[in-house]
Amino acid sequence: MPARAPRPAPALPQHVELIDGRRVPLRVVVNPRARRISLRLDSARREAVAVAPTQRLAPKAAAFAIDRAGWIHQHLARLPIAIPLIPGATIPLRGQPHVLTMVKGRTPARIVPGAPARIVVGAPDAEAFAARVRRFLAAEARRDLTLAVEVHAKTLKVTWKSLAVKDTSSRWGSCNSDGALCFSWRVVLAPPAILDYLAAHETAHLRELNHSRRFWTHVARCCPDFEKAETWLRKHGAALHAVGPKG
């Protein structure tokens, strides 16, 4: 008698329904390092994330999230209002307000000084406009970060292999043992001192791939006011993630 094929895993719910009728996207993540089922809110994607230690516990993690719809509703209400990358929206760039302006055609994105300044982008429609604004901001972030990392690398006498700018939501930056640095493009929205601190933080990881006392000594050599920058990020980080939220 042939063996029975294993039953397919049950489909997990994709949304959590809130008390006001809204449906919030639900993502279930299996993390073997997790000790228990947990729930968090991804402020950039504005979705609930249920974490399960094993695939077997994924349905329980989803149920855990659904049972805590009130908690999700409460924490969503605390998030800053999302700012889509659409014509007429005002977003920060290097800590200063800029109005997004669309013109027809493929005019390269540029900054026009003024009060307030404008970011002018050529695009045929709103969808293309948002993508081009995001690419422009990522390019500006890469340029500023490269300059900052070069300075801090000289201070700490380290070398780095590559620098990438991505649309990350769980961390502002990262560094691996091969010398590859990665940052969120949203760091360019913050004041320059904050971007400089984040560049110093990841560059210091080229000396210490941890958060030991020696690591923070290296950070302080590059950025003496790093504690102020950390405080600023805790207070305003969610507002940066509200700019150009992922769909």
Here the tokens at position 119 are 């970011």
Please identify, among 55, 78, 101, the residue that sits at the C-terminal boundary of a domain.
Answer: 78
Kind of pairing between the strands at 180-184 and 173-175: antiparallel
Q: What is the pLDDT of residue 1?
A: 54
Low-confidence ranges of the chain (pLDDT < 50): none
Residues 169 and 235 in one domain: yes
For residues 13, 16, 21, 24, the Cα torsion angle rounded to the nearest 10 degrees is -110
Residue 246: per-residue pLDDT: 66
Q: What is the pLDDT of residue 105?
A: 86
CA 221 vs CA 96, 165, 181: distances in Å: 27, 24, 19
pLDDT of residue 9: 61
Same domain? For 73 and 134 the reply is: no
Q: Are 197 and 183 in contact (CB under 8 A)?
A: no
Same domain, 73 and 142: no
CATH number at residue 233: 3.30.2010.10
Report how many domains make up the chain.
2
Q: How many CA atoms lie within 13 A of 169 on its CB side?
A: 17
Determine, yes or no, domain membership for 30: yes
Q: What is the pLDDT of residue 21?
A: 87
Q: Determine the pLDDT at residue 170.
A: 73
Q: Do 55 and 144 fall into the same domain?
A: no
Which residue range forms the structural domain that includes residue 218? 130-241
d(CA 162, CA 185): 15
Q: Give pLDDT, residue 20.
A: 85
Residue 233 belongs to some domain of the structure: yes
Nearest Cα residue to 126 out of 107, 104, 154, 111: 104
Of 41, 60, 78, at which residue does a domain stop?
Answer: 78
